[in-house]
Structure 1
């Protein structure tokens, strides 16, 4: 009697390849840092990413990271896998292949991006290994929420003009309009009561 192999690794591998192929976005969970979003190209078991000046910002990646793969249908977390990082050397056959694939997927390139990548940027291959840490039906209990990344972006010194005003400004105007309308209505009611008092000759208290 021969032993049957566990189909789970093959199933997880097929699910990983399908998810990586369908979605060009993943999250790179760096230990002692945070989770970084990154667009990538999937090629023969590796997620290829480019980072540096003019490209997506990524920190220095340690030898091992975690990749969080999303579902193309829901946009939510689908798989969490461990991955080894391999920085490709410019000019090597692996780098040339990765650069060609990334250039084909790169949106809105306005220059010779491959030359710029070789001089200024880093192309990294992220190679998943081992069984997924999280998969459908086996997710961790934690919600993986993290605080927003710190940024110097601000609008406190100058706020763009909005047609019709901003939401809070419109709310203030609506409140003032309602108060003014209520005051006019109350004034009309008081005037009617005074007229009735004069017609009847009564002495009603002033309102």
Structure 2
């Protein structure tokens, strides 16, 4: 689908303008919360070493994007066409600095960050609307809540240390 053939609904356009986090699901994988930057009628997401992990997104051609409101409720879910912006392209030169400028808690200047992305093999992914938003029967009826995934940062909680016996009256 070319950019000229692609049409975006007003709901998707408005939701994308306000998006800072998007739930992105590639085929066969879970939906992951990823920070994003809305530019040029699409969402841009950086993944890779030193950035957020999104297994399969850099190699995917399609994804499903869900945007949520301030109170956590789903606003819209739409199919997206995923394309990767190459570090040696003109598009990288115009988009990467804008995405880097929006990166929260970035170490160093935006120019240093884009140079690190290119050197470390990070993927700058463009998620462009590629169809009508899901509605009605196409949306899941349940909450889609999942148990927390295992992570290396999780620690077992220990019982509190007590020096003496506590008496109850």
Asked if Structure 1 and Structure 2 have the same fold, meaning a TM-score greater than 0.5 normalized by the shorter chain, the answer is: yes
Q: Size of the alignment, in residue pairs?
A: 155
The whole-number CA distance in structure 1 between the counterparts of 2:23 and 2:96 is 20
In proportion to residue count, which structure has more helix?
A: 1
Q: CA deviation at 1:47?
A: 0.6
Residue 85 (structure 2) pairs with residue 84 (structure 1) = no
Specify the alignment match of 2:123 in structure 1. 122
Match of 1:65 among 63, 69, 89: 63
The whole-number CA distance in structure 2 between the counterparts of 1:88 and 1:63 is 13
Match of 2:32 among 23, 26, 36: 36
The RMSD of aligned alpha carbons is: 2.7
The whole-number CA distance in structure 2 between the counterparts of 1:130 and 1:151 is 35
Specify the alignment match of 2:4 in structure 1. none
TM-score scaled by structure 1?
A: 0.66
Q: CA deviation at 1:94?
A: 1.4
Matches within 5 A, 1:19-168: 19-61=15-57, 62-71=60-69, 73-111=70-108, 112-120=112-120, 121-134=122-135, 139-156=139-156
The whole-number CA distance in structure 2 between the counterparts of 1:21 and 1:85 is 18
Q: CA deviation at 1:139?
A: 4.7
> Structure 2: 5+ residue runs without aligned partners?
1-6
Alpha carbons of 1:131 and 1:53: their partners in 2 closer, same or farther (altered >3 Å)? same
* Structure with greater contact order relative to length (CA < 8 Å, sep ≥ 6): 2
> Structure 1: 5+ residue runs without aligned partners?
1-9, 160-167, 182-207
The whole-number CA distance in structure 1 between the counterparts of 2:48 and 2:139 is 33
